[in-house]
């Protein structure tokens, strides 16, 4: 059994034992779901007026057909971004519990919200779904410490919901990096430079990279660059949540 599969199985058992299916993760009220209907309806959803490249929210009066200032300056390698939520309270707490406290029972709830957003986006643009979903990879050391890759769990579930191909290990992290939290944009770009490799031919394929949160997009941009070097014709970034501003 692979390290990923073994760690994921252990983490799933631990998460299920800690979270009762009768308790809403946000308000604690009784519900047959991870999040009750009232709390779900109150979550901060991503808006429609967003940059088409990175999905950062735009100001009233700006055009969603034009790139935001940061994308014009830094020109990320991914082509389009879709996110389900704004990274505001309580979504930030939900994702932190999912990622850092192994509350993996949240996987389907988060993946379903992202899949619904993707479907809505496709209805608006009449664009076909991509061919392949890849998770943002963790380095082996961090995967061993955490016990699971939240992006892989999300990506696999979204792929199943949308009927898209999925590969857990086509994109790999070949260099250890320090956590991006607290780094400025230029530091983030430098930190992830040369950190990824792709081991399959993506010639002619439309590819998606899935992550939990997008801040500056530096990690996803570096991964997208590698995927395009391996033949991907387009690379989209899909994430559960997006910060409501660009961290410079």
- Where in 66-193 does DSSP place strands (E)? 80-86, 132-135, 165-166, 171-173
Contact yes or no for 55/103 (Cβ under 8 A): no
Q: Which residue matches tokens 């979204």? A: 158
Q: What is the pLDDT along the chain (248 residues), one digit of tens a residue?
A: 444 444 444 444 444 444 445 689 999 999 999 999 999 999 999 988 999 899 999 887 777 778 998 899 889 999 999 999 999 999 999 999 999 999 999 999 999 999 999 999 998 787 899 999 999 998 888 888 889 999 999 999 999 999 999 999 999 988 777 566 666 777 777 767 777 999 999 999 999 999 999 988 889 999 999 999 999 999 999 999 999 765 54
CA terminus-to-terminus distance, the chain: 42
Cα 226 to chain centroid distance, Å, stands at 17
How many other CB atoms are found less than 10 A from the CB of residue 123? 9
Which pair of structure tokens corresponds to residue 188?
A: 């983030």
Alpha-carbon span 84 to 73, nearest angstrom: 25
Nearest to residue 105, comparing CAs of 11, 16, 9?
Answer: 16
**Gyration radius of the chain's alpha carbons:** 17
CA distance 137 to 151: 7
Dist. CA 166–CA 164, nearest whole Å: 7
Place of tokens 């996803």: 220
- Residues 16-32 as b/e (b if ≥16 CB within 10 A, e otherwise) read eeebeeeebbbeeeebe
From residue 216, how far is each of 24, 121, 201, 207, 240 by CA, in Å? 31, 21, 28, 20, 15
Report how far residue 71's alpha carbon sits from residue 82's, in angstroms, rounded to the nearest whole number: 15
């Amino acid at each position: 059994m692979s390290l990923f599969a073994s760690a994921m199985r252990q983490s799933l058992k631990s998460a299920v034992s800690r979270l009762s299916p009768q308790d809403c993760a946000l308000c604690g009220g009784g519900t047959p779901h991870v999040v009750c209907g009232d709390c779900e309806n109150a979550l901060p959803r991503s808006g429609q007026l967003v940059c088409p490249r990175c999905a950062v929210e735009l100001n009233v009066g700006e055009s969603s057909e034009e790139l935001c200032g940061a994308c014009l300056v830094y020109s990320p390698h991914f082509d389009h971004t879709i996110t389900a939520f704004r990274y505001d309270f309580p979504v930030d707490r939900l994702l932190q519990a999912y990622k850092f406290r192994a509350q993996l029972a949240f996987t389907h709830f988060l993946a379903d919200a992202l899949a619904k957003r993707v479907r809505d986006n496709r209805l608006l643009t009449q664009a076909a779904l991509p061919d392949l979903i890849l998770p943002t990879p963790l380095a082996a050391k961090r995967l061993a410490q955490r016990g699971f890759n939240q992006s892989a769990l999300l990506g696999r579930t979204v792929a199943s919901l949308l009927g898209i191909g999925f590969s857990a290990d086509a994109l790999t992290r070949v260099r250890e990096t320090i956590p991006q939290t607290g780094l400025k944009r230029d530091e983030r770009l430098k930190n992830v430079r040369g950190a990824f490799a792709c081991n399959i031919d993506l010639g002619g394929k439309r590819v998606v990279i899935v992550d939990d949160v997008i801040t500056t997009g530096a990690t996803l941009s570096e991964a997208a660059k590698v995927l395009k070097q391996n033949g991907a014709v387009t690379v989209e970034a899909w994430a559960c949540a997006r910060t409501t501003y660009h961290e410079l």
